[in-house]
Amino acid sequence: MNDSALVTDETRAHIREVAARMWYTPHGAARSLITRRTHTIGVLLPDLYGEFFSEVIRGIDLTAQRSGYHCLISSARHDGPRLEAALRSMRGRVDGLVLMSPEFTGELSHRTLPGGFPVVLLNCPPSELDCDSLTVANYEGAYAMVRHFVGLGHRRIALINGAAGNFDASERRRGYHVALRDAGLPVVPDLEIPGDFTEESGHAAALALLALADRPTAIFAANDVSGLATISVAGALGLRVPEDLSVIGFDNVPESALGEPPLTTIEQPIQQMGFDAAQLLIQLIAEQPVPAHLMLPTRLVVRGSCQAVQA
């Protein structure tokens, strides 16, 4: 049943024929005690809701299945105790872990995971941990977005931020700031509104920005969900997108192309992120040499939610 080289082809065929006739399948937990492998990888994300996370999970799962692995998936959103509990619950159940969490530290790793346990960090901040990692060019994407707005003549460019403490959000905010300064534009605190990547926070932030006496002519939403919420709010207030307000999101989830108007966005290869993270982890589990750190590129996808400032 384990494809041992010590078993002849004739014996292997006979045993498998008997096993099939008796509806026998090996007991995974018992087998793992001998092989020290579960053929399962853990996936721990800050959330499981929405198109972004479903695409990441899809990429991980497809790669895992092709290599004979299954996935054990959980979430722990911005909560240290929940993260520690989730990590502890995976001990002994998985051969390695794909992890996206700003709270994962060296101290937490030592408390919850055995030494040398294979871990791939996904879009996490740089840390003291000696882990393979995969990130997205968030800074570069946000910088390109501001340059696009500036090229269209926009000067009051607002930001609906992502979740506090989130590495992606902080890198996008950094790109936004540097691009404004490089264009000779001020960083205006009133034009930055906190958010948390949800539709509700995007809606509230858009209302606050569009209520300003000197409202922005362009809004950069830190993800597509917030960008689509912004377009909805603008329409409810009687503003036209893009004639009265230009909007850009980030992620390029499938829904972003279906709005009215379709959302200009910064594309990150979401499913590819899952593919690559799982492949890195499987190579680590097999003790094959792998690159220590990968960065995936982003690109501007221009659609109908932006136009030049009207004279």
| Torsion (CA) 149, 153, 157, 162 in degrees, nearest 10 | 0
Distance separating alpha carbons of residues 217 and 103, to the nearest angstrom: 36
**15 within domain boundaries:** yes
Distance separating alpha carbons of residues 81 and 174, to the nearest angstrom: 29
**239 within domain boundaries:** yes
Cβ neighbours of residue 286 closer than 8 Å, sequence gap 6 or more: none
Q: Is 143 found in the same domain as 263?
A: yes
Q: Is 264 found in the same domain as 146?
A: yes
**92 within domain boundaries:** yes
Q: Is 258 found in the same domain as 142?
A: yes
Structural domain tally of the chain?
Answer: 3
**308 within domain boundaries:** no
pTM for this predicted structure? 0.81
- pLDDT score of 292: 73
Q: Is 121 found in the same domain as 175?
A: no
Residue that wins the pLDDT comparison between 129 and 200: 200
Helix (H) or strand (E) holding 16: helix 9-21
pLDDT-derived band at 75 (thresholds 50, 70, 90) equals: confident
Strands 264-267 and 246-251: parallel
Cα 96–102–108 angle (5° rounding)? 60
Q: Is 177 found in the same domain as 129?
A: no
pLDDT(127) > 80: no
The answer to whether the CB of 136 falls within 8 A of the CB of 228 is no
Q: Is 241 found in the same domain as 96?
A: no
pLDDT-derived band at 167 (thresholds 50, 70, 90) equals: confident
- pLDDT score of 205: 97
- Mean pLDDT over each residue of the chain, to the nearest integer: 88
Portion of the chain with pLDDT greater than 70, in percent: 88
Structure tokens, 160: 């609906």
| Residue 192 structural domain | 138-269
What would the mean pLDDT of 99-122 be, rounded to a whole number?
A: 74
pLDDT(287) > 90: no
pLDDT-derived band at 137 (thresholds 50, 70, 90) equals: very high
Q: Is 44 found in the same domain as 12?
A: no
pLDDT-derived band at 32 (thresholds 50, 70, 90) equals: low
* pLDDT tens, residue by residue, 236-259: 999 999 999 999 999 999 899 998
**300 within domain boundaries:** no
CA distances from 134 to 8, 116, 123, 137, 234 (A): 43, 19, 6, 10, 36
**67 within domain boundaries:** yes
pLDDT(105) > 80: no
Q: Is 30 found in the same domain as 42?
A: no
The answer to whether the CB of 141 falls within 8 A of the CB of 268 is yes
**259 within domain boundaries:** yes
CA distances from 125 to 99, 122, 136, 166, 306 (A): 12, 9, 11, 8, 31
Q: Which of 18-22, 73-77, 151-155, 289-293 has the highest mean pLDDT?
A: 151-155
What would the mean pLDDT of 194-218 be, rounded to a whole number?
A: 95
Number of other residues whose CB lies within 10 A of the CB of residue 301: 16
- pLDDT score of 206: 97
Q: Is 150 found in the same domain as 121?
A: no
Q: Is 143 found in the same domain as 91?
A: no
- pLDDT score of 31: 56
Distance separating alpha carbons of residues 209 and 101, to the nearest angstrom: 29
CATH of the domain at 149: 3.40.50.2300
Cα 297–300–303 angle (5° rounding)? 150
Q: Is 76 found in the same domain as 66?
A: yes
Residue that wins the pLDDT comparison between 169 and 28: 169
Distance separating alpha carbons of residues 84 and 103, to the nearest angstrom: 10
CA distances from 145 to 217, 220, 272 (A): 14, 8, 22
Distance separating alpha carbons of residues 110 and 129, to the nearest angstrom: 10
**229 within domain boundaries:** yes
Distance separating alpha carbons of residues 91 and 10, to the nearest angstrom: 38
R_g (Cα) of the chain, nearest Å: 24
Q: Is 217 found in the same domain as 277?
A: no
DSSP state of 310: P
Cα 292–277–97 angle (5° rounding)? 90
Residue that wins the pLDDT comparison between 273 and 38: 273
- pLDDT score of 1: 74
